[in-house]
Amino acid sequence: MYGTVARLRVKPGAEEALMAQLRAYRALSVPGYQRSYMYQMDNDPAEWYMAVVFDSKEAYRANAESPEQDQRYREMLALLEREPEWHDGEILTDAAG
C-alpha cells in the first residue's frame, strides 16, 4: 500500500465545503483508491491532516498526475489558506498489522 499524509490550513468558514469535496471524492471510482481520513487538530481547529491510502505507488501516481485530480486539487486549494504540505510514502502496516 502507498499513500500520503498532508497538512492543511483551512480557511475560516470553508470546513463544510471541504468535507463535501472529500465525500464527493470518496464516491468516485478512482483506480487503486482505498480510503482516506481527515483529522482536525484539537489545539488549532484550522489545522487539518489528511491521510490517503492507495493500493500501490503506481495507482497513487496515476491519480496524482491525472487532469481530473488536478481539477479536484485546484478546487480544494480555494478552501485552504496555503498549499498543503505533502508527505508521500509506503504504508508499512495497517490496522491488522
Residue 18 cell numbers, joined = 471541504
Residue 77 cell numbers, joined = 486549494
Contact assessment for residue 3 and residue 60, using Cβ atoms and an 8 Å cutoff = yes
How many whole angstroms separate alpha carbon 34 and alpha carbon 11?
27
The answer to whether the pTM exceeds 0.85 is yes
pLDDT of 26-46, one tens digit each? 889 999 999 999 999 999 999
Residue 94 is predicted with a pLDDT of 74
Q: Domain 2-89 belongs to what architecture?
A: 2-Layer Sandwich (3.30)
pLDDT of 42-81, one tens digit each? 999 999 999 999 999 999 999 999 999 999 999 999 999 9
The single residue listed with the C-alpha cell 488549532 is: 44
DSSP states along 2-59: EEEEEEEEBPTT-HHHHHHHHHHHHHS--TTEEEEEEEE-SS-TTEEEEEEEES-HHH
In this predicted model, which residue has the larger pLDDT, 9 or 97? 9
Given a cut of 80, is residue 95 above it in pLDDT?
no
Residue 97 is predicted with a pLDDT of 56
The single residue listed with the C-alpha cell 498543503 is: 84
